[in-house]
Amino acid sequence: MSRRRKLKSKSYEIEIESLSHEGRGISHMDNKVIFTRGALPGEKVIASRTLSRAKYEEADVTEILEPSSDRIEPKCSVYGICGGCSFQHLSSENQINAKQDWLQSAFKGQAKVEPKEWLKPMQIGSWGYRRKARLGVRYVAKKERVLVGFRERKSSFVTVMSRCEVLHPSLGDNLELLSECIERLSIKEHIPQIEVAIAEKDTILILRHLQPLTNKDEEVLSDFAQKLQITWYLQSGGLDTIKPLTKSVQLTYSIPDHSIEMSFLPNDFTQVNFELNKKMINLAIDLLELDEQDNVIDLFCGLGNFTLPISKYVNKVVGIEGDRGLVERAKENAEVNNISNAFFYKSDLFEDVSGFEWFRGQNYNKALIDPARTGAIEIVDLLPKLNVERLVYVSCNPATLARDTARLIDLGFYLENAGVMDMFPQTAHVESIALFTRKK
C-alpha cells in the first residue's frame, strides 16, 4: 500500500495580488497560484506552504513584511488558531466590500451578467451575534482539563479558549465556566460536542454523551444550569434521542415589524444572526413589492421565516419544505400567530412535483427561494410553469447563485437587483439576495 509522501517544508516571500472567494490572498509563483491564509492584497509576506498540488499551493502567513493599510489587529486572542473565524484581520467595512466583490465576480464569471442596480451592503453588529453553533469538547488527560470551543483550523483538536467574541455573550463570555462544568462529570472523556441554540429569552445546550450520565452528573449539570443561566438537553444517540434534562423550554424569536413570533426546537434550522435576519426579511418583502392580490410561493421555507411575514400583505402564500418536522412547526407558528392565508406542504423539491396539489394547475405571480449551499438549479425550471413574474432569491453561496442566475436568464428572467448581507461577520461566508423579474 502506497503512503502519502510528507510535504517538504517550504517558505516563500510573496506579494499578494487579490483576495480569493475564501478570503485568502492570491499570488503567483513558478506557474502556480499561491493561496495564502491571513494575507491581504498589496501586502508583502513570508508564507509557509501547507499544501501542494499540480496547479496551486496553499500557505499560511508567518511574517508580514509590508502590511496593508486595511489590516487591523484581531479582537480574539486565539484568532489564526481557532477555525471559527477567518477575517478578523480586516475591518467589518472592508469585509463586506470584499464579499460584494466576490458576488460581482461570480455573476460576471458564470452568468455573464450584472444586476441593473447593486443594493447597499447590509450589516449589523459584528460581534456577539452567533446564536447557533456546534462546539467541540475534549478531555485532555495530561493537563487534567476539559476544553470547550471551536475546532482548530484544519484539525480535530479543540481550540484552547476562555471566551468567544462571535458567540452570543450569554455563552461566549462563559466558556471557562462551561469547561468547569464538564470537568466535574464522571463521563467527561465521553462528551464529544455541545450543540448551541440561543433564542431571545433562553439558551439551550444539547450535550452529546457516549456513556450514560450518573445521578451525580445530572446534579452537576443542574447546578451549572443556574450559574450559566442555560437549559440542558441530552443526546445519547441520533436526533430522536434529544430530550431535556429536566423540563423542556419553548424557544422563540420575534419579527416585530410584522408582529410575528416564531417558535422552534433546539435542533431546528434557524438563522444564526437574529438582528440581520429581521433586516433581511424586510428587504425581501420590499423587493417583492407585495399587495393583497398576490399569490406567493416560498420554496425551502423552513419554519416559515419568510412565509409568515409575507402572509401579512398578500392574498395567499404557500411554503414548501422537505423536512416534515419544520413543516409541522411552520403550521403551528401560523396558527399561534392567527394567520389563515399561509399553507405549508412537505415536498422534496429535487424530485418530480408535478402531481402535488400545491403545483398542479396553480399560479403564483411572486416567489421566494432560500436554498442550501447547493442552490436550486433543478427548481428554477418550475418557476415559469407556475407563472412567476417576480422572484427574490436568498443565497448562502455566490457560486450557485450565479449558476442559477444563468439558468434563470435562459428562462426569460432579468436580474434587477443584488447585494450582500453580513450574516456571518468575521468569516468568509457570503449571504446574498437578488431580485429577478419576468414578463409573461
- Residue 4 confidence (pLDDT): 53
Q: At 235, list the grid cell.
A: 443526546
End-to-end, the C-alpha distance of the chain in Å comes to 62
Give the pLDDT confidence of 164-200 residue by residue, as tens digits. Answer: 999 999 999 999 999 999 999 999 999 999 999 999 9
Phi, psi of 256 (to 5 degrees): -65, -30
Nearest-Å Rg of the Cα atoms of the chain is 24
Which residues make up each annotated binding site?
A: 76, 82, 85, 164, 271, 300, 305, 321, 348, 370
| Catalytic residue annotation | 396
Residues of the chain with pLDDT under 50: 1-2
- State the sign of the Cα–Cα–Cα–Cα dihedral 281, 282, 283, 289: positive
Q: Which domains does the chain have, with CATH numbers?
A: 7-71 (2.40.50.140), 96-125+273-438 (3.40.50.150), 132-244 (2.40.50.1070)
Per the structure block, which three cell numbers stand in for 168? 452570543
Question: Identity (one letter) of the amino acid at 81?
Answer: I
How far is 302 from 325, CA to CA, in rounded Å? 9
**The predicted structure's pLDDT at residue 9:** 84
Task: Give the DSSP H/E element, type plus range, for residue 298.
Answer: strand 295-299
- pLDDT value at residue 8: 81
Query: Which residues contact residue 347 at a Cβ distance below 8 angstroms, ignoring those fewer than 6 apart?
Result: 320, 321, 322, 353, 356, 358
Q: Which residues, including other chains, have CB under 8 Å from residue 129's CB and lie 6 or more apart?
A: 166, 168, 272, 273, 274, 275, 276, 425
Q: What is residue 162's predicted lDDT score, i.e. its pLDDT?
A: 94
**What residues form the annotated binding site for S-adenosyl-L-methionine?**
271, 300, 305, 321, 348, 370
